[in-house]
């Protein structure tokens, strides 16, 4: 004798309704079969839920259910054609909505995510963008996120990691020197807006970190990697120091100090100074220091050495002059 299906609990029915109603709102007309396939449930379960929706709502000012206080369904279409059309919504339209500016900010973030190579399911992002537009209290401002110059390089780096083959490219290091590198790619990581490739550098015969915006002419080779992630030790920190690094003293706001964790040497002394933290950071070149300080305006100040202060000040002045 076949085992009878276990009856669904009230909370299960409620959870299904809370998922079904927004789905029906996004579709002006949908068949029972289509809805059942979307949720992976029997068609009769969808019909049962629709009948329950039709007697659901909130009491009005009279504390009794009057016309307009309940959801309404195009019952003729439902009974004769097995199609679902909601003709009256209750309470959902009165729920708090995103402002136009909030929706625009979220849409801009989604556009940025859709531009990244790893987000292949752009249809899902497009659907969510449309929902945000419809659900805002006003029409969101039109926004567009410019594609990054490193998108193609990022795609090739990820491809080489996935295939387990070497990546060849021209690399401009922090000293301004260009060299052709051949790397066993191990990991692609991001810090803020910058992307980095970590891998075994055959030229240096060691693990190195490469910033993608300094890579040019990348080429995914057919040569298999000789050093995998299990063969070498990848440090927890993205940036590893060397004997050639420059030591710079800076003052930084305590709340921003964690942003410099990878740059601060393990033996660095940190003291409080005029409400800020004075410590040292390790940089390979003052060019990198300029970008680092510029990413934290108002919260980081270069104290010394004088050469470092002069380089950062000159670079900042040149940038400000372009606005005149």
| pLDDT confidence tier of residue 70, bands split at 50, 70 and 90 | confident
Over range 206-232, report the average pLDDT. 88
Q: Which of 224, 255, 289 is the last residue of a domain?
A: 224
What share of the chain in percent tops pLDDT 70? 76
The pLDDT of residue 77 is above 80:
yes
Residue 64 lies in a domain: yes
Query: Is there a contact between 279 and 250 (Cβ–Cβ < 8 Å)?
Result: yes
Query: Is there a contact between 63 and 57 (Cβ–Cβ < 8 Å)?
Result: no
- Residue 60 or 313, more confident: 313
Distance, CA of 58 to chain centre: 38
**Given this model, what pLDDT does residue 1 score?**
42
Averaged pLDDT score across all residues of the chain: 79
| pLDDT confidence tier of residue 33, bands split at 50, 70 and 90 | very high
Q: Indicate the helix (H) or strand (E) that contains 129.
A: helix 122-135
In terms of domains, do 87 and 15 share one?
yes
The total number of residues shown for the chain amounts to: 324
In terms of domains, do 16 and 45 share one?
yes
Residues 6+ positions from 51 with CB-CB distance below 8 Å: none
Strand, helix or coil at 248? strand
Q: Is the dihedral of CA 148, 150, 154, 156 positive or negative?
A: positive
- Residue 6 or 184, more confident: 184
Burial level of 170, CB count in 10 A (0-12/13-18/19+)? middle
**By C-alpha distance, which of 101, 100, 129 is closest to 114?**
129
In terms of domains, do 104 and 53 share one?
no
In terms of domains, do 251 and 309 share one?
yes
**Given this model, what pLDDT does residue 305 score?**
92
The pLDDT of residue 26 is above 50:
yes
Among 44-48, 173-177, 270-274, 303-307, where is mean pLDDT lowest?
Answer: 173-177
Residue 232 lies in a domain: no
Q: How many CA atoms lie within 13 A of 143 on its CB side?
A: 19
Q: What is the CATH number of the domain that holds 40?
A: 1.10.10
**Given this model, what pLDDT does residue 34 score?**
92
Residue 34 lies in a domain: yes
| pLDDT confidence tier of residue 169, bands split at 50, 70 and 90 | very high
Query: Is there a contact between 187 and 198 (Cβ–Cβ < 8 Å)?
Result: yes
CA separation for the pair 320, 66 (Å, rounded): 65
- Residue 207 or 18, more confident: 207
C-alpha distances (whole Å) from 152 to each of 87, 149, 156, 319 are: 47, 7, 6, 28
- Residue 119 or 270, more confident: 270
Q: Which residues pair with 291 in a beta bridge?
A: none
Domain span at residue 35 reads 11-94
Q: Structural domain tally of the chain?
A: 4
> pTM value?
0.45
Residue 233 lies in a domain: no
CA separation for the pair 181, 164 (Å, rounded): 17
Place of tokens 């934290």: 296
Residue 240 lies in a domain: no
CA separation for the pair 54, 44 (Å, rounded): 15
Over range 20-30, report the average pLDDT. 82
Q: Which of 144, 177, 208 is the last residue of a domain?
A: 144
- Residue 223 or 196, more confident: 223
Q: Which of 64-68, 169-173, 190-194 has the highest mean pLDDT?
A: 169-173
For the segment 87-117, what is each residue's pLDDT rounded down to a tens digit? 887 755 555 566 777 777 787 777 766 655 4
In terms of domains, do 140 and 155 share one?
no
């Amino acid at each position: 004798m076949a085992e009878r299906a276990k009856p669904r609990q009230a909370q299960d029915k409620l959870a299904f309704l809370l998922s079904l109603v927004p789905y029906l709102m996004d579709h002006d007309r949908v068949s029972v079969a289509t809805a059942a396939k979307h949720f992976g449930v029997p068609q009769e379960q969808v019909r049962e839920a629709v009948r329950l929706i039709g007697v659901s709502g909130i009491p009005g000012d009279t504390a009794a259910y009057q016309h307009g206080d309940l959801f309404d369904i195009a019952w003729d279409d439902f009974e004769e054609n097995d199609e679902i059309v909601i003709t009256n919504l209750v309470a959902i339209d009165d729920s708090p909505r995103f402002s136009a500016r909030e929706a625009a900010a979220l849409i801009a973030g989604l556009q940025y995510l859709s531009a990244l190579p790893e987000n292949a399911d752009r249809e899902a992002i497009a659907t969510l963008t449309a929902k945000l537009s419809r659900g805002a209290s006003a029409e969101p401002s039109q926004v567009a996120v410019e594609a990054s110059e490193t998108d193609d390089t990022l795609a090739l780096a990820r491809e080489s990691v996935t295939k387990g083959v070497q990546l060849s490219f021209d690399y401009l290091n922090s000293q301004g020197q260009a060299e052709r590198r051949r790397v066993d790619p191990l990991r692609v990581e991001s810090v803020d807006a910058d992307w980095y490739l970590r891998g075994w550098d055959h030229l240096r015969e060691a693990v190195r970190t490469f910033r993608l915006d300094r890579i040019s002419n990348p080429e995914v080779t057919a040569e298999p990697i000789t050093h995998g992630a299990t063969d070498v030790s990848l440090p927890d920190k993205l940036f590893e120091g060397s004997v050639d690094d420059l030591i710079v003293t800076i003052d930084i706001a305590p709340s921003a100090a964690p942003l410099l964790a990878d740059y601060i040497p393990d033996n660095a002394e940190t003291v409080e100074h005029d409400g800020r933290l004075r410590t040292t950071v390790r940089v390979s070149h003052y060019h990198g220091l300029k970008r680092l300080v510029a990413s934290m305006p108002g919260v980081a100040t270069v104290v010394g050495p004088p050469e470092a202060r002069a380089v950062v000040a000159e670079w900042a002045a040149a940038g400000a002059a372009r606005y005149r």
